[in-house]
Structure 1
Amino acid sequence: MNTSSIQERIATRLPHVPLAQERSLRRRFREATTAEEWQALDRDVESGCAEVARRAAAIPEISYPNELPVSARHDDIAAAIRDHQVVIIAGETGSGKTTQIPKICLELGFGRRGIIGHTQPRRLAARTVAERIAEELGQDIGQSVGYAIRFDDRVGPDTAVKLMTDGILLAEMQRDRFFRAYDVIIIDEAHERSLNIDFLLGYLKRILPQRPDLKVIITSATIDPERFARHFADAQGNPAPIVEVSGRTYPVEIRYRPTDEDPDALVRAIEELMAEGPGDILCFFPSERDIRDAMELLEAQRWSGTHILPLFGRLSNQEQHRVFSPHSGRRIVLSTNIAETSLTVPGIHYVVDTGTARISRYSTRTKVQRLPIEAISQASANQRSGRCGRVAEGVAIRLYSEEDFLSRPEFTDPEILRTNLASVILQMASLRLGDIAQFPFVQPPEARHIRDGLALLHELGAISPPRAGALPKLTRIGRDLARIPVDPRLARMLVEAQRLGCLHEVIVIVAALTTQDIRERPLDHQAQADQLHARFRDKKSDFLSYLKLWEYLDHKRQELSGNGLRRLMKAEFLHYMRSREWRDLVRQLREVSRQLGWNIPDPTGNAEAIHSSLLAGLLMNIGQRDGNSKEFRGTRNTRFMVFPGSALAKKPPEFVMAAELVETSRLWARDVAAIDPAWVERLAGTLLKRQYSDPVWSRSRATAVVQEKATLYGVTIYADRTVPYHRVDPEAARGLFIRHALVEGDWATQHRFFHDNAAALAQAAEVEDKARRRGLVADEDVLYEFYEQRIPASITTGAHFDSWWKKKRRADPHALTLTSEALLHDAAQDITQDLFPDHWDQFRLEYSFAPGTKDDGVRVLIPVPMLASIDPAPFQWLVPGMRVELVTELIRGLPKGLRRSVVPAPTFAERVVPLLDPREDLCDSLAAGLRRLGGTGIDTTDFSLSALPTHLRMTFAAVNKCGKIIDADKDIRALARRQATQIRSSMDRLSNYAETTSAEEWTEETLGTLPQTVQTSVDGHSVTAYPTLQLRGKIISVAVLPTKAAADQAMFTTTLTLLMRAVSINAKQMTKGLVLQQRVALEHYPHGGVEGIVEEARVAAIRDLLLAAGGPVRSPEKFAALRDSLVPQVTAQVRRSIVTIAPALVSYERVANELSQWEGPAIDDMQAELHFLLPPKALIVHGMNRLKHLPRYLQAMTMRLAEMNHDPDKDAARQEEVDAVMTRLRAVLAKRPEGMDKTTPVKDVLWMIEEFRVSLFAQRLGTAQPVSRKRIMRAIDRL
């Protein structure tokens, strides 16, 4: 046969080959050129035609049961299919549409060149419908009729009608995008509007223009078929035809019985239906819990001959079968909405509808699948009531009002509006179907649901980050996910498990999560089932429980026969058929893994790898325990608890992941495991949201650091983690490095330029401190710019700098060196060493410009051992550069009357400073200088050094042997007192100028002559010490003291004691010649009587005579001469003191007696005055020079008492004058060192106040000195 003849024959036969082969054969027809190619094509076309003929021959004669309503519409249905590409067939359950429409298609000639594809929402339905059609055709499954469901493919080479789940047809899209293997596709139960169904309807709408030969038949219950018709409208907008087929139904009476929350409403409704006659009752409830509550309520009624049966998805097979098995008596079936469309309960005459159901809804806010209880739609309510019109006339009671019914939505929202769209978007991206927003869904999903689906795929790493207006682009992970026939989250677990080497274990777990739990809990054996299932529990992971269960069954499968395994599993409440399904899915996933080129290693039991793999798909389902509660803070502000059936429910860990979060009565986490948040950090990557504290400088790290907190959708993964700031903001980190390390010098480095610059800056800063003004030194911004211009932009840390500088310094070692000329402005040239020296004699000076602080001004650093030997007076002059300001402030502090002659103060200060001699006392020199310039009446005492600003008074700082400041004060004496222990410790190390000696007598042989000073070295400092005598009991010893004052005081006390040893006084001899009244007063002396006052007089006399003689002497010879000179004078001196004090004591006793008879503030004041005038040891404390005025003071008190009775207000006013100066004195003393009240200046002020009392209360007696309140206040201020 020639080529031309072959071409004609092929062209004639091509329309008769299988549709799946036609396209490729036609392409070969167009491209064939050689005889060999034409002959091969002819053979293939002949084979295809034979296959079609064989399939046609296998189709038996077709008949239709007359009793089915669909048979009556046979011709209408056939005509619609023949004349239209898409047909909608609406009919109630029982109309026969599911089994008869495929036969009508066969009768029309379909099923020869292509397959009649027939989808069902559930596997069970696909299998049973196939079996029913095959039975009606008189064939076995696998001949003209077959089915394909997961794990079970019963399709033969001659199969013309293929029943399958909608998921199987979706999977075929990957290898047959235009469904070329089919000439008819029937989408059954389309009213259920599952996600798969809606996707298929949209996809078929998309491909129909490319497949004009493809017939599409949509079968549905009579629930909104018009929507499907509009969806498949033709190019002219004409809806697809609808053929309605009535069901085999009987009238149903609807009764409305609103409950108003009445718990007995259910009982009354059932009793009302029982009264109608025999027949089973079907009651609809929203949840398993409601069913259990209702069972308890109804069983309590104890109706005779009535069986109450539950029906819900988690019920065991055995319990479900009870609903469908033959029975006697009446049954009341309590069901969820599973009996609404999925299952048909036989024999139902009556229905009770509560009007609610659990509707699965995806929350775009919390990203979890919720199962809220909602009011059902009108269509669902009608479906429920229709369940009682299948066998006879029925009655349906709705436990809500008719108004409530009419206000409800007409139809239930399709699943595509209630679920996450990640799997749909993944498949669309894999098939390159374009933008999901433009996809022809029956009801397009909301944009937020699309965004959430994209977000989940991005979280799983399946697509590149979503961009506005761009189509999702699959990553390598995404392409793998699209080929794995499970939910994308579960598929992601497998991808990660392959990477981590635990694919064997994770396949088992993923399969378990995909299929229904094989563990059963029959209502009447729950405790027993729980006990048996507890063997498989893992206290840290529900996922590992699946592995334990798998390993157990695998072991038993090898031990037992098939029937033995069935019996074992039934006894242990394990579902055999579900375990088969689990095993089949594991086998399928292993096969898919091999197709992807993955290796499935032997199980390792690596729990971390297993859970990390699972976590890759469950990042959105993590949570952190809220404190010590059992509640968890989940992603996106959700809060959940571990489901009570979990092994982790009683002792939940800190962090968990959950296979799913389901909201019922509350949000529950099912199938959970403890996780390490470090796993989340490793897997989440860019999904983590990181927050940072304000950066802080770290000297030890030589870089700025921040505290990092990472959250995943609101769950804190870690917090307070210190990280280098340059990872966050390199530019800002560089700025902080320059500012802190180089400008501020807060860096521990050995670079020479760094330390040279620090020294230059310190010297420059001292200039400002000396000048007491800022702006003389280049500020930090200038320094920052200096470094910023010289350091590369990549330098952000000390380590970076070290690496760069190591090379840079070889080429230019001074590139970063600061010079003093660059640091100081011209105005700083006036700050010279002459005006602002760095040393005062041997002591270093420091300058501080810190107004308002105690360190403000000049500070002299004095070694501790030398504190006691320093005369503070020269330091009052300060340094030359500050003297004009010092004098200006002293002039301003003069009393106003004196100040008038020396204003303006700055001008006079400028003039007087050159006239002053720093070797003299400051106030003496200044008073004399101002008087020379015309300042009249200015005296040394008119200046108040204590009132000077802080910076104009020298600060004395004590430094230890290491040169460290340990204490500081404006008053060097106070500083020395605080450091007395340290000073004494230093003195203990002095080299003794002579052998340490002691004796009972001071002779040249024993103690010898004492030098005024000794010079030695302590801690490297030259120290002057002062020898003296000290008494310890009767023993005299030589001591070396750190200060002249201390040594002089010790010498005076020792000398006084030695002199007192040489003098004894007879007290009786001292009182001879005194009048009786005086002798009595002496006897009544409150501090020891006659003996006490005579002893005081003896001590005072020896002291006064010693002072008059010039004080202590330093040699034994001079002491002997002094003793011989003074002892004869003591008795006469004591007698004079007694004679002088005796009359005063008479007056004292009289005043004291009179005061004891009065009360009040004035009396309290005079009592205190008496105590001051005559304290213990009064003659020693005050001395006779003061006590000679005692009679006048006592007389003034007597006069005050007399006058106070006549004019108390006047006395009170005068008392206020006294109180004012006393208050001021106490305030000043409170700020002074302890013991200052015993010093001579303070005593002088107290006697001035005593004279002030006389001037106020007894003015006519006169005063010993000029006195006024103003004078006293000035004297107090000078303290």
Structure 2
Amino acid sequence: DPEILRTNLASVILQMLAIGLGDIGGFPFIEPPDPRHIRDGFLLLEELQAVESKHGKLVLTPLGRNLAQIPVDPRLARMVVESQQLGCLNEVLVIAAGLSIQDPRERPMEKKQASDEAHRRFADPSSDFVSWINLWQHLKDQQKELSASQFRKKCRDEYLAYLRVREWQDLYAQLKQAVHDLKWRLNDTPPSYDTLHRALLSGLLSHVGFKDNNNEYLGARNRKFFVFPGSPLAKKGPKWIMAAELTETSRLFARCCAKIEPEWLEPLAAHLIKKSYVEPHFEAKPGSVIALENQVLYGLTVVHRRKVQYGPIDPVEAREIFIRSALAEGQLQTQEAFFVANQKLLEDIESLEHKSRRRDILVDEQVLVDFYEPRIPEGIYNAQLFFGWWKKAKREQPDLLDFSKALLMQRNADHISTLDFPDTWHKGNLRLQLSYHFEPAAADDGVSVHIPVALLNQIDDSDFDWLVAGLREEKCIALIKSLPKSLRRNFVPAPDYARACVQAMVPFSASLLEAMCKQLLRMSGTRISPEDFDLTQLPAHLQMNFKIEDDKNNLVAEGRVLDTLKAELQGVVAKAIRQVADKGIEQEALTEWSFGDLPQQYQQQKGNYQVRAFPALIDKKDSVAIKLFDDEFEALDAHRQGLRRLLLLNIPSPVKHLQQALPNKAKLAMYFNPFGQVQILIDDIIAAAVQQLLDEKALDVRNQAQFEQAKDWVRQELNPTAEQIALKVEQILTLYQSIKKRLKGKISLDIAFAMSDIQSQLDKLVFKGFVESCGWNRLADVARYLKAIEIRVEKLPVDPTRDRLHMQSINKVQEALNAQLAKVPRSQPTPTALIEARWMIEEYRVSCFAQVLGTAYPISEKRILNHIQQV
């Protein structure tokens, strides 16, 4: 009743709210109304203006006035108002008029398929609202071409209700007149998808949905709905949609839907969105306190963890975070003098903590916060504001923000000296940087030495076991505690013995373990060896950590075992050396000595250190090349092979001579060699012959004159030398084949282990490349060792027990040799004495199994063990 509405101003406002204005993007009234309930009703513009003029208390905002003058549902009116601002007024008027009436598209039960096909022409895959535009344009075109009766018939044929179409057109005309009265202009050009749907979204903020599971959408106020099956969006719906209406039948369905983007919601629903901020923190790059913003619209998260400036939101908390993180924790990016000096002072004191492995020297972070707190004014919560204030403040008090050493230190640290904890490590003529880190779980806990990758080939692991003086006594205590209990009980208390050892030992005179064994023997009379210490029980920080770095100080690799790092980075080291070396040193496709002198060592200054490499010839089969090696011993071995190849490329091949000179028996033996291709064996024989001739004259060829001398000598003696070697090889292969035949067939259990040992010995004596590996001088011995195996095979079935006893003795010395070989660093060649021990074991086998053949020198188990122990 209009009379009731005129006398109850609060009812007017609450009635407008009740029909949905609270859910649309814009609030049409200024408070306060008198809070009372009304049931329904609608106030026309003239009645509302009359009440306003009479009472003078109700004031309409511009949005409220515009909504009131558009004669459709307030939701639709809100769309129209927004479309005027976005430039899509014409299309929104069409859609608003269409949504205000019953849908003109009919779907008779008996002609469902035909009607669906007729209406499908207007469908859009992303928006049901666009179908209204398409249908409107179609009707507009048909009306221009057809008469009134023809148009009515056309509507019937296309399953469109003619009267509803007319109603739609009439309502559009009324809306058009209303916006004309408001002096709004219709757009001439079609709007984009985004523009049109942002305007529509302004009136449907409570009808948005987020795709959850199985095409089900989560909507406002925790409602769950599905897209109506007749919509193109039903099968594979987008992540976010809006709907013109929600209708509950068998389920809650959304009708007239469209795809939207969640970022459209924020500007339209600013008054409805609830914002929350989590995880405020300082970020160095923008120099400000950042928080993660969440925005929720009717229970739907429309913005998730977006970074925003936290200072304007909560300046007090933002200032606290800025002081703690940017200044106290040192995250601020600046070169201001006070900040640089403060950070340097903190790093120096932290370095003392890392060296002493204690966390009680530097004050707590809160002390730094308390220092800055009273000095920095309120409202400073980012770098820009801070620098603006500090630019003026430092003119009056330049030392206002300077730390003092007394402020930062909880206790005195005079006991931490540079003698005990040096910053550099001297290795020969090299000076390497040391760093300290106190974090037991970290890979670099303890002391780390920084080694440029180009210098890795010049560093060996000797002396590093002494560690630094400040940790040496602790390491000695740990070593004593790692001894077996039977030995450890002689050195109790361990700290006293460790202290006495440290005081008596001369650092770096020998290995730490050897020096400790000597001192412990002197103090207690108990003899121990370095092998008695269990190094696996040592804490990581008591073993030197090696950090390998490139020329830009970037970490390449790190670890506690230097030899392992060398093996892993062999290619990286060689590449780093080649980058430093002069161009033209490395060459390819060489077939004669045309490159001048080839020194054994190449040096190049790189910054503060000198890079050392080892050039050598390498064998490329049909040519040779010059390559820089990072390892001296590897370079020497490669050079021997490369030199042999270059000599053979420049002298006649001895193959033809061997074919003519060797007897058929020798040729046959070589043909049935165990390696397959006879050419492999011939190449091995020729290589051994060339190497024998070079060794006879002790030729280390490094220039062209030496190469010419070696070439003349090898050309002269190669054929007879190769022939002699081939005859020895024929003898060895004949014996080898004879033994292999005897090993075939069934083997009884009592001799199975002996047969396995014989097979293993054969594999070590005759293998691919054995001729050059053994050399001319040992070929006769190899033949004798094979004869000894023949005799052993003959005796074995007669007395297997005696054979087993000999084998136990041989295994004992072999294990001792293997233990010593395992100690040889990977970066170094096997010592000559250990190579000799390997052949001593072969002589010992002759002594055990074939004494009738005799040995090259007196041999026994004890002699071999003594020889190995002396290495």
Q: 2:519 matched to which residue of 1?
A: 929
The answer to whether the Cα contact below 8 Å between 2:14 and 2:35 also exists between their aligned partners in 1 is no
Do structure 1's residue 838 and structure 2's residue 420 form an aligned pair?
A: no
Shift in Å, 1:720: 6.1
Q: 2:575 matched to which residue of 1?
A: 981
Q: 1:637 matched to which residue of 2?
A: 223
1:92-131 equivalent positions in 2, closer than 5 A: none
Q: How much identity, in percent, do the aligned residues show?
A: 29
Shift in Å, 1:685: 1.4
1:338-417 equivalent positions in 2, closer than 5 A: none
Q: 1:858 matched to which residue of 2?
A: 447
Q: Distance in 1 between matches of 2:522 and 2:198?
A: 96
Letter in 1 for 2:22: L
Q: Distance in 2 between matches of 1:759 and 1:898?
A: 48
Q: Distance in 2 between matches of 1:880 and 1:1001?
A: 53
Q: 1:910 matched to which residue of 2?
A: 499
Between 1 and 2, higher relative CO (CA 8 Å, sep ≥ 6) is seen in 2
Q: What do residues 175-207 of structure 1 show as CA deviations (whole Å, max 9, x unaligned)?
A: 3569xxxxxxxxxxxxxxxxxxxxxxxxxxxxx
Q: 2:714 matched to which residue of 1?
A: none
Q: What do residues 1155-1181 of structure 1 show as CA deviations (whole Å, max 9, x unaligned)?
A: 334457633343112222455666864
The answer to whether the Cα contact below 8 Å between 1:698 and 1:704 also exists between their aligned partners in 2 is yes
Letter in 1 for 2:474: E
Residues matched between the structures, number: 808
Decide which of 22, 25, 32 is 1:457's aligned counterpart.
22
Q: Distance in 1 between matches of 2:631 and 2:233?
A: 80
Shift in Å, 1:939: 5.1
Letter in 1 for 2:431: F
Shift in Å, 1:931: 3.6
1:740-759 equivalent positions in 2, closer than 5 A: 740-759=325-344
Q: What do residues 1218-1246 of structure 1 show as CA deviations (whole Å, max 9, x unaligned)?
A: 6999799699979985x989665875786
Q: 2:247 matched to which residue of 1?
A: 662
Decide which of 401, 407, 410 is 1:816's aligned counterpart.
401
Shift in Å, 1:979: 0.9
Q: In structure 2, do the counterparts of structure 1 residues 1232 and 1189 end up closer, same or farther at CA, with 3 Å as the change threshold?
A: same
Q: Distance in 2 between matches of 1:517 and 1:642?
A: 15
Q: In structure 2, do the counterparts of structure 1 residues 803 and 1170 end up closer, same or farther at CA, with 3 Å as the change threshold?
A: same
Q: 1:427 matched to which residue of 2?
A: 12
Letter in 1 for 2:269: A
Decide which of 753, 760, 763 is 1:1171's aligned counterpart.
763
Q: 1:1156 matched to which residue of 2?
A: 744
Decide which of 582, 599, 602 is 2:182's aligned counterpart.
599
Q: Distance in 2 between matches of 1:465 and 1:1241?
A: 103
Q: 2:356 matched to which residue of 1?
A: 771
Q: Distance in 2 between matches of 1:932 and 1:690?
A: 78
Q: Distance in 1 between matches of 2:673 and 2:208?
A: 94
Q: In structure 2, do the counterparts of structure 1 residues 620 and 475 end up closer, same or farther at CA, with 3 Å as the change threshold?
A: farther
Secondary structure at the residue paired with 2:353? helix
Secondary structure at the residue paired with 1:843? strand
Q: In structure 2, do the counterparts of structure 1 residues 1097 and 1034 end up closer, same or farther at CA, with 3 Å as the change threshold?
A: closer
Q: What do residues 1120-1151 of structure 1 show as CA deviations (whole Å, max 9, x unaligned)?
A: 9999xxxxxx9xx9999999999999997776
Larger Rg: 1
Decide which of 174, 177, 199 is 2:5's aligned counterpart.
174
Q: In structure 2, do the counterparts of structure 1 residues 670 and 1106 end up closer, same or farther at CA, with 3 Å as the change threshold?
A: same
Q: In structure 2, do the counterparts of structure 1 residues 1147 and 775 end up closer, same or farther at CA, with 3 Å as the change threshold?
A: farther
Letter in 1 for 2:762: L
Q: In structure 2, do the counterparts of structure 1 residues 982 and 1190 end up closer, same or farther at CA, with 3 Å as the change threshold?
A: same
Shift in Å, 1:962: 3.9
Q: 1:123 matched to which residue of 2?
A: none
Letter in 1 for 2:609: H
Q: What do residues 274-302 of structure 1 show as CA deviations (whole Å, max 9, x unaligned)?
A: xxxxxxxxxxxxxxxxxxxxxxxxxxxxx
Q: Distance in 2 between matches of 1:611 and 1:1024?
A: 72
Q: In structure 2, do the counterparts of structure 1 residues 1218 and 501 end up closer, same or farther at CA, with 3 Å as the change threshold?
A: same
Q: In structure 2, do the counterparts of structure 1 residues 570 and 905 end up closer, same or farther at CA, with 3 Å as the change threshold?
A: closer
Q: Distance in 2 between matches of 1:495 and 1:1036?
A: 86
Secondary structure at the residue paired with 1:937? coil
Q: Distance in 1 between matches of 2:315 and 2:581?
A: 59
Shift in Å, 1:830: 1.9
Decide which of 446, 471, 479 is 1:882's aligned counterpart.
471
Q: In structure 2, do the counterparts of structure 1 residues 1243 and 662 end up closer, same or farther at CA, with 3 Å as the change threshold?
A: same
1:1091-1130 equivalent positions in 2, closer than 5 A: none
Letter in 1 for 2:413: A
Q: Distance in 1 between matches of 2:355 and 2:229?
A: 75
Q: In structure 2, do the counterparts of structure 1 residues 648 and 880 end up closer, same or farther at CA, with 3 Å as the change threshold?
A: closer
Q: What do residues 415-470 of structure 1 show as CA deviations (whole Å, max 9, x unaligned)?
A: xxxxxxxxxx9537479xxxxxxxxxxxxxxxxxxxx9598636565589999x97
The answer to whether the Cα contact below 8 Å between 1:767 and 1:828 also exists between their aligned partners in 2 is yes
User: TM-score normalised to the size of structure 2?
Assistant: 0.66
1:933-944 equivalent positions in 2, closer than 5 A: 933-938=523-528
Q: Distance in 2 between matches of 1:639 and 1:870?
A: 72
Decide which of 692, 697, 712 is 2:297's aligned counterpart.
712
Q: 1:847 matched to which residue of 2?
A: 435
Q: In structure 2, do the counterparts of structure 1 residues 978 and 1212 end up closer, same or farther at CA, with 3 Å as the change threshold?
A: farther
Gaps of 5+ in 2: 39-57, 663-667, 712-717
Decide which of 582, 605, 618 is 2:204's aligned counterpart.
618
Q: CA RMSD in A?
A: 7.2
Letter in 2 for 1:619: L
The answer to whether the Cα contact below 8 Å between 2:102 and 2:164 also exists between their aligned partners in 1 is no
Letter in 2 for 1:1156: K
Shift in Å, 1:808: 3.7
Q: Distance in 2 between matches of 1:569 and 1:1098?
A: 107
1:240-259 equivalent positions in 2, closer than 5 A: none
Q: Distance in 2 between matches of 1:1058 and 1:546?
A: 87
Q: Distance in 2 between matches of 1:603 and 1:898?
A: 102
Q: In structure 2, do the counterparts of structure 1 residues 650 and 822 end up closer, same or farther at CA, with 3 Å as the change threshold?
A: closer
The answer to whether the Cα contact below 8 Å between 1:838 and 1:844 also exists between their aligned partners in 2 is yes
Q: In structure 2, do the counterparts of structure 1 residues 1204 and 900 end up closer, same or farther at CA, with 3 Å as the change threshold?
A: farther
Q: Distance in 1 between matches of 2:514 and 2:244?
A: 95
Q: Distance in 2 between matches of 1:822 and 1:746?
A: 20
The answer to whether the Cα contact below 8 Å between 1:1100 and 1:1179 also exists between their aligned partners in 2 is no
Letter in 2 for 1:885: E
Secondary structure at the residue paired with 1:174? helix
Q: In structure 2, do the counterparts of structure 1 residues 172 and 1257 end up closer, same or farther at CA, with 3 Å as the change threshold?
A: farther
Shift in Å, 1:831: 1.8
Q: Distance in 2 between matches of 1:1136 and 1:537?
A: 97
Secondary structure at the residue paired with 2:206? helix
Letter in 1 for 2:761: E
Q: 2:54 matched to which residue of 1?
A: none
The answer to whether the Cα contact below 8 Å between 1:1147 and 1:1194 also exists between their aligned partners in 2 is yes
Greater displacement, 1265-1274 / 756-765: 1265-1274
Q: Distance in 1 between matches of 2:238 and 2:424?
A: 68
Q: 1:805 matched to which residue of 2?
A: 390
Secondary structure at the residue paired with 1:828? coil
Secondary structure at the residue paired with 2:268? helix
Gaps of 5+ in 1: 1-169, 179-424, 432-451, 993-997, 1072-1079, 1124-1129
User: TM-score normalised to the size of structure 1?
Assistant: 0.48
Q: In structure 2, do the counterparts of structure 1 residues 1113 and 693 end up closer, same or farther at CA, with 3 Å as the change threshold?
A: same
